[in-house]
């Protein structure tokens, strides 16, 4: 049984929503950040990245307090308004290639603790504690955890009917996305949605493992029966077939002492290798890998060596690590080794080629994206994917909906 709650959201006024909302600030280059902060006084970047110019010179404690103060300034200036009662939202994101629609709500930390809400990625404790301190000192969160639920005809039809009603927001962004938000405030609709999710035995985190873990840690430290929002964390619930999963491709700075021919010979132990020369080749199915090395693209077809592999051993990202990255290239720590970097699969493989041709990297690997069934199977068996195995959309706009603690 999955428990969800409505909440008294804080959100931008309709006339300013397109100016306020932003991508996660990590997605902006330094030049983009400077431009947005200089020319758009309403950008939520002013809140989540206060004192941008001096950000490296102040302590985290002062930075978090600055976030809290700037957020309060936005509320005092009536840039934000608060809902009169707890509500749900239906939110649609239309990109150039995909459309995503889901439900914004609070999901239960007790469900998270009891594995009703399942996870497939490991977390770094320092990041969990850092974001927990951020939540505690700022008193709000605006980036929901992306959670999938099994496709459900009743929910799908209800959402389709809801989208026929007038929205409270409909706006476009500079990256050519369209965003639409509907408020769900009728008691009958709220109760019906809660009852539908009570029938769903398990939910799966797609993106946001650190955020959910930080919410749990804050709950453990600050649990308060009079503050229900602490017992839940904001989530964006979306049907599992609507999630778009991309791979993360890998680029490595050197061949760990191997000559090109020697490296290819070692790869031949585990892969059938076909030289595609200058063809921009990407994997077409599971157990296929692309490689760019020494000016040529290669197709690598994995020689299945185990007739009964585990779920984790069957994962392409794990195969690449077990057969190439760790034993041949000497990369033990996929998170922290400075010799490896990652490129989201939604980017052109020309990006990978250009970075290697420029000389800073020597070899790149392209993977075939995982699917939702692999993610669920790992989560069901309490297994963890290798770091940077998936790049998942949709991505939520910061500052669109604020969940106060």
The model's pLDDT over 177-207, given as tens digits with 9 standing for 90+, comes to 999 999 999 999 999 999 999 999 999 999 9
Backbone dihedral angles phi then psi of residue 276, each to the nearest 5 degrees: -95, 5
pLDDT band at 379 (very low <50, low <70, confident <90, very high): very high
In this structure, the number of other CB atoms found within 10 A of the CB of residue 274 comes to 12
Write down the H helix ranges in 178-290: 187-198, 209-222, 260-267
Other beta carbons within 10 Å of 231: 17
Whether pLDDT at 309 is above 90: no
pLDDT class of 233 with cuts at 50, 70, 90: very high
Residue 201: burial class (beta carbons within 10 Å; 0-12, 13-18, 19+):
exposed
Q: What is the mean pLDDT of the chain?
A: 94
Q: Considering the domain delimited by 248-368, tell me its CATH architecture.
A: 2-Layer Sandwich (3.30)
- Show Cβ contacts of residue 72 under 8 Å, excluding neighbours closer than 6 positions: none
Domain borders along the chain are 4-245+393-404, 248-368
* pLDDT value at residue 67: 93
pLDDT band at 336 (very low <50, low <70, confident <90, very high): confident
d(CA 372, CA 376): 6
Averaged pLDDT, 245-249: 95
Q: Which whole number is the average pLDDT over 225-247?
A: 92
Q: Is the pLDDT of residue 256 over 60?
A: yes
8 Å CB contact between 106 and 235: yes
Measured distance between the N- and C-terminal CA atoms of the chain, rounded to whole angstroms? 24
Chain centre to alpha carbon of residue 30: 21
pLDDT of residue 56: 58
Scan for tokens 């949605």, then name that residue: 193
| pLDDT surpasses 90 at 55 | no
281: its two tokens: 């080749």
pTM: 0.92
Domain 4-245+393-404 in this protein, CATH class = alpha beta
Lowest-confidence segment of 45-54, 152-161, 167-176 by average pLDDT: 45-54
Are 365 and 272 in contact by the 8 Å Cβ rule? The answer is no
Residue 16 to residue 175: CA distance in whole angstroms: 17
Residue found under tokens 């409270």:
168
User: In angstroms, rounded to a whole number, what is the distance separating the alpha carbons of residues 135 and 109?
Assistant: 15
């Amino acid at each position: 049984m999955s428990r969800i709650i409505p909440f008294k959201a804080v959100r931008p006024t309709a006339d300013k929503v397109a100016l306020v909302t932003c991508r996660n600030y990590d997605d902006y280059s330094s030049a983009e950040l400077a431009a947005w902060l200089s020319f758009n006084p309403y950008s939520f970047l002013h809140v989540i990245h206060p004192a941008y110019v001096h950000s490296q010179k102040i302590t985290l404690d002062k930075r978090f307090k600055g976030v809290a103060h700037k957020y309060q300034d936005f509320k005092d200036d009536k840039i934000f308004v608060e809902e009169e009662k707890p509500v749900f939202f239906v939110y649609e994101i239309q990109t150039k290639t995909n459309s995503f629609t889901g439900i914004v709500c609070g999901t239960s930390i007790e469900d998270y603790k009891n594995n009703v809400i399942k996870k497939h990625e490991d977390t770094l404790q320092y990041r969990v504690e850092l974001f927990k301190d951020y939540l505690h000192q700022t008193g709000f969160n605006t980036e929901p955890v992306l959670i999938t639920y099994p496709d459900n005809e009743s929910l799908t039809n209800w959402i389709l009917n809801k989208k026929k009603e007038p929205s409270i927001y409909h706006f476009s962004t500079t990256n050519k996305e369209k965003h639409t938000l509907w408020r769900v405030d009728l008691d009958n609709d709220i109760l019906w949605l809660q009852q539908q999710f009570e029938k769903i035995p398990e939910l799966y985190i797609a993106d946001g493992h650190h955020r959910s873990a930080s919410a749990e840690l804050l709950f453990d430290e600050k649990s308060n029966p009079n503050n229900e929002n602490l017992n839940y964390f904001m989530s964006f619930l979306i049907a599992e077939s609507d999630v778009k999963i991309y791979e993360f491709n890998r680029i490595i700075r050197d061949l760990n002492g191997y000559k090109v021919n020697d490296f290819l010979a070692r790869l031949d132990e585990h892969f059938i290798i076909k030289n595609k020369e200058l063809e921009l080749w990407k994997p077409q199915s599971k157990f296929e890998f692309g490689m760019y090395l020494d000016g040529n693209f290669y197709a690598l077809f994995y020689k299945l060596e185990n007739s009964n592999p585990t779920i984790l051993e069957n994962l392409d990202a794990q195969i690449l690590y077990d057969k190439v990255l760790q034993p041949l290239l000497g990369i033990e720590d996929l998170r922290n080794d400075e010799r490896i970097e990652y490129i989201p699969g939604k980017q052109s493989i020309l990006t990978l080629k250009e970075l290697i041709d420029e000389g800073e990297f020597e070899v790149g690997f392209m993977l075939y994206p995982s699917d939702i069934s692999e993610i669920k199977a790992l989560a069901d068996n309490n297994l963890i994917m290798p770091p940077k195995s998936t790049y998942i959309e949709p991505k939520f706009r910061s500052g669109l909906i604020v969940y106060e603690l």
